Structure 1
Amino acid sequence: MKLSWYNPLIAFTAISFLFASCSHNRSAGKADVQLTEKVFVVNILKNGQKLNEYLEHHQHVWPEVEAGFKKAGYKKITLYRYDHLLVMTIVVPAGADLGQMGKVAESYDKRCAEWNQLMNQYQVGVEGTSPGQTWVEAKPFYAFTNQ
């Protein structure tokens, strides 16, 4: 359903709010490793064919890519979509260096770097990002808990 008041900035704000408000630290149970959930956003090129290709690639993620994620220490990665806006949540150990984790994942197998290069062809930054910048972190600004 397409809403008449929809615009990318409103969608970005609403989705950022929803996912950022769910960002939290939690215990993994294994040796009480603290985990944290981070939220990132990006747009896919406003081209229906490119969007379909991107979605199709994610129906068949290369096994080397997921093995690289495991090697790097990612605990969970989830992608969400609204039109051409993508939201990614990642769960990693608290305090993890995401840049270093990305390098470890890419170095696992040459196909991991190939995957990232392929996916970069579909992605553009959300409004307000620098030229060439794609995924950006959405910072939490409100949280509700019922404990």
Structure 2
Amino acid sequence: MKRYCLTLDLKEDQQLIAEYDEYHRAVWPEIIASIRNSGILHMEIYRYQARLFMIIEAEDNFSFERKAALDKNNRKVEEWETLMWKYQQALPGARPGEKWLPMNKLFSLEEY
């Protein structure tokens, strides 16, 4: 199993943040299905103010490139991503259209 940690910022607007939270209390079933069908086994998103942190645990053959290809052909996923971009903003250093960015692991207690 692979683990990924990613980060993204929301726009600094309390109303938009509240709406974003609300959408994530009732994620569309098509989005849940697309996540599971891509090989993601476990996903959690945490928020501190406008900063988001996502943990993904996926099958060994999972790839973000394959997920992107599947999503590109899924109208509901494209609709969801367009809607979410209303609330999200790119991190400094992100390329155009890039949202969630991978984080580098700095420390693991298990290694000690």
TM-score with structure 2 setting the length: 0.87
Match of 1:38 in 2: 4
Aligned identity (percent) is: 24
Partner-residue secondary structure (3-state), 1:68:
helix
Match of 2:69 in 1: 103
Give yes or no for contact 1:36–1:92 (8 Å, CA) kept in 2. Answer: yes
Between 135-144 and 124-133, report the one with greater CA deviation: 124-133
Match of 1:68 in 2: 34
Amino acid at match of 1:55: D
Alignment partner of 1:137 out of 77, 82, 102: 102
Partner-residue secondary structure (3-state), 2:55:
strand
Give yes or no for contact 1:68–1:106 (8 Å, CA) kept in 2. Answer: no
* Larger-gyration structure (1/2): 1
- Matched residue count: 112
Aligned pairs (5 A) from 1:5-84: 35-84=1-50
Unaligned runs of at least 5 residues, structure 2: none
Partner-residue secondary structure (3-state), 1:75:
strand
Distance 1:103 1:58 in 2: 23
Distance 1:98 1:137 in 2: 11
CA RMSD, 1 decimal? 2.0
Unaligned runs of at least 5 residues, structure 1: 1-34
Deviations 1:30-89 (A, max 9, x none): xxxxx0110000000001111011111111100111011121111111000100000011
Give yes or no for contact 1:71–1:104 (8 Å, CA) kept in 2. Answer: no
Please tell me whether residue 114 in structure 1 is matched to residue 79 in structure 2: yes
Give the deviation of 1:146 after TM superposition: 7.4
